[in-house]
Protein backbone atom coordinates (compact mmCIF):
# COMPACT_ATOMS: atom_id res chain seq x y z
CA UNK A 1 0.00 0.00 0.00
CA UNK A 2 2.84 2.42 0.72
CA UNK A 3 2.59 5.74 2.52
CA UNK A 4 -0.84 7.32 2.34
CA UNK A 5 -3.06 9.55 4.45
CA UNK A 6 -6.62 10.31 5.37
CA UNK A 7 -8.32 13.15 7.20
CA UNK A 8 -10.94 12.73 9.90
CA UNK A 9 -12.91 15.17 12.01
CA UNK A 10 -12.45 15.35 15.77
CA UNK A 11 -13.37 17.65 18.66
CA UNK A 12 -9.94 19.29 18.25
CA UNK A 13 -10.37 19.89 14.53
CA UNK A 14 -9.37 17.87 11.48
CA UNK A 15 -6.74 15.18 12.08
CA UNK A 16 -4.47 13.86 9.35
CA UNK A 17 -3.55 10.21 9.83
CA UNK A 18 -0.59 8.80 7.90
CA UNK A 19 0.13 5.11 7.42
CA UNK A 20 2.75 2.99 5.77
CA UNK A 21 1.23 -0.40 5.05
CA UNK A 22 -0.75 -1.38 8.14
CA UNK A 23 1.27 0.78 10.56
CA UNK A 24 0.30 4.28 11.63
CA UNK A 25 3.31 6.58 11.24
CA UNK A 26 1.71 9.98 11.76
CA UNK A 27 -1.21 11.83 13.29
CA UNK A 28 -1.17 15.60 12.80
CA UNK A 29 -3.43 18.48 13.75
CA UNK A 30 -4.63 21.11 11.34
CA UNK A 31 -2.02 23.85 11.73
CA UNK A 32 0.49 21.50 13.39
CA UNK A 33 3.53 23.60 14.29
CA UNK A 34 6.06 20.95 13.27
CA UNK A 35 5.98 20.01 9.61
CA UNK A 36 5.89 16.24 9.10
CA UNK A 37 9.34 14.90 8.24
CA UNK A 38 7.92 12.40 5.77
CA UNK A 39 5.69 12.99 2.76
CA UNK A 40 2.04 12.25 3.53
CA UNK A 41 1.59 10.28 0.35
CA UNK A 42 -1.67 10.35 -1.60
CA UNK A 43 -5.02 10.58 0.11
CA UNK A 44 -6.45 7.09 0.42
CA UNK A 45 -9.12 6.57 3.07
CA UNK A 46 -8.81 2.77 3.10
CA UNK A 47 -7.13 1.04 6.01
CA UNK A 48 -7.74 3.72 8.63
CA UNK A 49 -11.07 2.54 10.07
CA UNK A 50 -9.63 1.00 13.26
CA UNK A 51 -7.54 4.08 14.08
CA UNK A 52 -10.54 6.36 13.48
CA UNK A 53 -12.79 4.13 15.60
CA UNK A 54 -10.30 4.16 18.48
CA UNK A 55 -9.89 7.94 18.24
CA UNK A 56 -13.67 8.40 18.37
CA UNK A 57 -13.85 6.13 21.43
CA UNK A 58 -11.05 8.15 23.07
CA UNK A 59 -12.87 11.43 22.45
CA UNK A 60 -16.13 9.87 23.73
CA UNK A 61 -14.33 8.97 26.97
CA UNK A 62 -14.71 5.21 26.51
CA UNK A 63 -11.09 4.41 25.52
CA UNK A 64 -8.06 5.07 27.72
CA UNK A 65 -5.42 3.18 25.71
CA UNK A 66 -4.87 2.59 22.03
CA UNK A 67 -4.24 -0.78 20.39
CA UNK A 68 -2.84 0.04 16.98
CA UNK A 69 0.26 -0.91 15.03
CA UNK A 70 2.57 2.09 15.28
CA UNK A 71 5.82 2.73 13.42
CA UNK A 72 7.02 6.26 14.23
CA UNK A 73 10.15 7.36 12.41
CA UNK A 74 12.85 9.19 14.29
CA UNK A 75 16.30 8.98 15.82
CA UNK A 76 17.14 6.36 18.45
CA UNK A 77 16.81 9.02 21.16
CA UNK A 78 13.44 10.24 19.84
CA UNK A 79 12.13 6.67 19.71
CA UNK A 80 13.25 6.16 23.33
CA UNK A 81 11.42 9.34 24.40
CA UNK A 82 8.27 8.36 22.48
CA UNK A 83 8.41 4.92 24.10
CA UNK A 84 8.32 6.68 27.48
CA UNK A 85 5.30 8.72 26.39
CA UNK A 86 3.14 5.65 25.78
CA UNK A 87 3.94 4.52 29.34
CA UNK A 88 2.30 7.61 30.86
CA UNK A 89 -1.11 6.41 32.08
CA UNK A 90 -4.32 8.03 30.91
CA UNK A 91 -5.22 10.96 33.15
CA UNK A 92 -1.67 11.42 34.45
CA UNK A 93 1.17 13.74 33.49
CA UNK A 94 4.95 13.66 33.69
CA UNK A 95 7.47 16.47 33.49
CA UNK A 96 10.25 16.67 30.93
CA UNK A 97 12.66 16.20 33.85
CA UNK A 98 10.92 13.00 34.98
CA UNK A 99 11.18 11.58 31.46
CA UNK A 100 14.85 12.55 31.24
CA UNK A 101 15.47 10.80 34.56
CA UNK A 102 13.63 7.69 33.32
CA UNK A 103 15.96 7.70 30.31
CA UNK A 104 19.01 7.89 32.58
CA UNK A 105 19.92 11.52 31.88
CA UNK A 106 18.75 13.79 34.72
CA UNK A 107 20.09 16.85 32.85
CA UNK A 108 18.35 15.95 29.59
CA UNK A 109 14.99 17.70 30.06
CA UNK A 110 15.59 20.09 27.16
CA UNK A 111 16.52 17.26 24.78
CA UNK A 112 13.44 15.34 25.93
CA UNK A 113 11.32 18.42 25.25
CA UNK A 114 12.69 18.71 21.73
CA UNK A 115 12.07 15.01 21.00
CA UNK A 116 8.59 15.30 22.52
CA UNK A 117 7.85 18.17 20.13
CA UNK A 118 8.77 16.00 17.14
CA UNK A 119 6.42 13.16 18.16
CA UNK A 120 4.77 12.26 14.85
CA UNK A 121 1.77 10.41 16.31
CA UNK A 122 -0.03 12.99 18.45
CA UNK A 123 -2.76 11.89 20.88
CA UNK A 124 -2.06 8.15 20.42
CA UNK A 125 1.54 8.65 21.56
CA UNK A 126 0.41 11.05 24.29
CA UNK A 127 2.89 13.93 24.20
CA UNK A 128 0.10 16.12 25.61
CA UNK A 129 0.66 14.39 28.96
CA UNK A 130 4.08 16.02 29.34
CA UNK A 131 4.17 19.27 31.29
CA UNK A 132 6.81 21.67 32.52
CA UNK A 133 8.18 21.71 36.03
CA UNK A 134 5.53 22.47 38.61
CA UNK A 135 2.84 21.25 36.20
CA UNK A 136 3.08 24.27 33.87
CA UNK A 137 1.54 23.79 30.44
CA UNK A 138 4.30 24.34 27.95
CA UNK A 139 4.56 24.17 24.18
CA UNK A 140 2.50 21.72 22.18
CA UNK A 141 2.70 21.19 18.41
CA UNK A 142 -1.10 21.24 18.25
CA UNK A 143 -1.33 24.43 20.32
CA UNK A 144 -1.89 24.90 24.05
CA UNK A 145 -5.68 25.08 23.69
CA UNK A 146 -5.68 21.54 22.27
CA UNK A 147 -3.32 20.37 25.01
CA UNK A 148 -5.69 21.82 27.65
CA UNK A 149 -8.65 20.12 25.96
CA UNK A 150 -6.93 16.70 25.86
CA UNK A 151 -5.79 16.92 29.49
CA UNK A 152 -9.25 17.99 30.66
CA UNK A 153 -10.81 15.16 28.62
CA UNK A 154 -8.71 12.74 30.64
CA UNK A 155 -9.64 14.19 34.05
CA UNK A 156 -11.83 11.96 36.22
CA UNK A 157 -15.50 12.99 36.42
CA UNK A 158 -16.26 15.32 39.35
CA UNK A 159 -18.23 12.62 41.19
CA UNK A 160 -15.09 10.43 41.20
CA UNK A 161 -12.91 13.10 42.82
CA UNK A 162 -14.23 12.34 46.31
CA UNK A 163 -13.00 8.75 45.96
CA UNK A 164 -9.46 9.96 45.27
CA UNK A 165 -9.03 11.45 48.77
If 0-12 CB within 10 Å is exposed, 13-18 middle and 19+ buried, where does residue 78 land?
buried
**d(C-alpha 94, C-alpha 43), whole Å:** 35
Cα–Cα dist 20/48, whole Å: 11
Q: Provide the H-helix boundaries in the chain.
A: 49-60, 76-85, 96-102, 109-117, 144-153, 158-161
Does the annotation mark 84 as catalytic?
no
- Among residues 19, 115, 121, 127, the one annotated as catalytic is 127
Residues assigned a catalytic role: 127
Amino acid sequence: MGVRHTITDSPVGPLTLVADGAALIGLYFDGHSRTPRIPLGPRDDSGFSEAITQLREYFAGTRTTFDLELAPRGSAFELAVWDQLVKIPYGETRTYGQLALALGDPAGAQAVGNANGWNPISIIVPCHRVVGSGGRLTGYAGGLSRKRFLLSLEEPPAEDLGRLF
